[in-house]
Structure 1
Amino acid sequence: METPTKQQTDKRGFRTKREAEEFLASVENMKATGEFVSASSARILLSEWARGGSALS
């Protein structure tokens, strides 16, 4: 939805419900096979990365 000044007023992520459902199914599949890594789990401090350490271990 747009205002008269052409500004978007609602959040858009997927064009259709089907696209959203397909994305959800792919994420669920990755979680089931162990391929999925959440963004919060993937975070590592630059200092740890520089030392060759891992925040995931």
Structure 2
Amino acid sequence: MQVSVTDKCSGHGRCYTLAKGVYQDDEIGYNAAIGQTFEVGADRADEARLGAINCPEAAILISE
């Protein structure tokens, strides 16, 4: 699965709070992967989805 973090992120932190194995925060509390697309293995797919669906801005896009 591919995960893309868009610039809609406004730093609520729900993604990295709920899915620490997939998402990290930067020095000011935003998702550290803004503007990036990265691969997530099957072992972390549910965690990636959990972080994405809890983003208030829908800033995280999942492609399977």
Shorter-chain TM band = under 0.3
Structure with higher helix content: 1
Structure with higher strand content: 2
